[in-house]
Structure 1
């Protein structure tokens, strides 16, 4: 965890996500100089996601085999929130145990930008997919005020959004 920089020391409002590796890739949130978070997968068939940041390590696992609800854990088993994908839309609702609630959504029908929005904080971040971006598949832009009481680490929230974009791409590839 010592190789990650705290997101509070970021001096830019735009970053990018870099894909590293081909066969077992992992993704890093970077501003070109420092790394703020990393998303990787563990287990056969990408059973669960691991998000490493300067603060801690987090995992995203399914609640049960047939449930759509995903558990957001600190470490392996300390549940700190839930992620609930919508049944008929592309939205994902995030509910943290500390009261923070937000929704990942595409604001427009054919948009490539995945936005995290909250009733209390407004738009927090936008994750935009880059066409033919193999090495840098996503750019991320943040709101100006990222450090408010009760809001989780924005780098971790970004990697959750990247995870769901990759998850939707995996589902679309399996369906075709």
Structure 2
């Protein structure tokens, strides 16, 4: 965790996600100079996701084998929140145990931008999928004014990237069958 820079020291609102590796990829949150976090997988089947930042490490797991709900836990296996995709929409609800609620969604029908919005804070961040970016598949825009007021911003960014990767894997599996 000491290899990551604190998210409080972020000076730009444009970040990139860098893909490292091919068969067991990990995704690094960077501004081009410093690394702020990392998304990696705990096993080969990609059922456990590990999100790391300078301050904390989170573990994302499915609630049950056939459940759509993802649980957010810390390293001591204490549940911090959950992520639930809504039925028949492209929205994903985030509910944290500290009272923070938000929605990940595509705002338009044909868009590559996945946004996080909250009733309390408004637009928080957006993750844009690059058209032909293999090494840098995502660009992230963060609202710097909300950086101090919203806790665990690296979790929110890396969780958004993880949700896009899950949707891409589901789409690839559906296209292949």
Normalised by the length of structure 2, the TM-score is 0.95
In the TM superposition, 1:140-155 aligns within 5 A as 140-149=140-149, 151-155=150-154
Q: Distance in 1 between matches of 2:60 and 2:112?
A: 23
Q: Confirm or deny that 1:94 pairs with 2:94.
A: yes
In the TM superposition, 1:41-80 aligns within 5 A as 41-75=41-75, 77-80=77-80
**Other structure's SS at 1:18 match:** strand
Q: Gaps (5+ residues) in structure 2?
A: none
Q: Is the 8 A contact 1:58 1:76 kept in 2?
A: no
Q: Is the 8 A contact 1:91 1:103 kept in 2?
A: yes
Q: Confirm or deny that 1:14 pairs with 2:11.
A: no
Q: Confirm or deny that 1:157 pairs with 2:156.
A: yes
Q: Distance in 2 between matches of 1:122 and 1:138?
A: 22
| Cα deviation, residue 148, structure 1 | 4.2
Other-structure match for 1:131: 131
**Other structure's SS at 1:159 match:** helix
Q: Gaps (5+ residues) in structure 1?
A: none
4+ residue stretches of structure 1 with deviation over 3 A?
Answer: none
Q: Distance in 2 between matches of 1:67 and 1:130?
A: 29
| Cα deviation, residue 138, structure 1 | 0.4
Other-structure match for 1:167: 166
| Cα deviation, residue 76, structure 1 | 5.2
Cα RMSD of the aligned pairs, angstroms, is: 1.0
Normalised by the length of structure 1, the TM-score is 0.96
Number of residue equivalences: 175
**Other structure's SS at 2:12 match:** coil
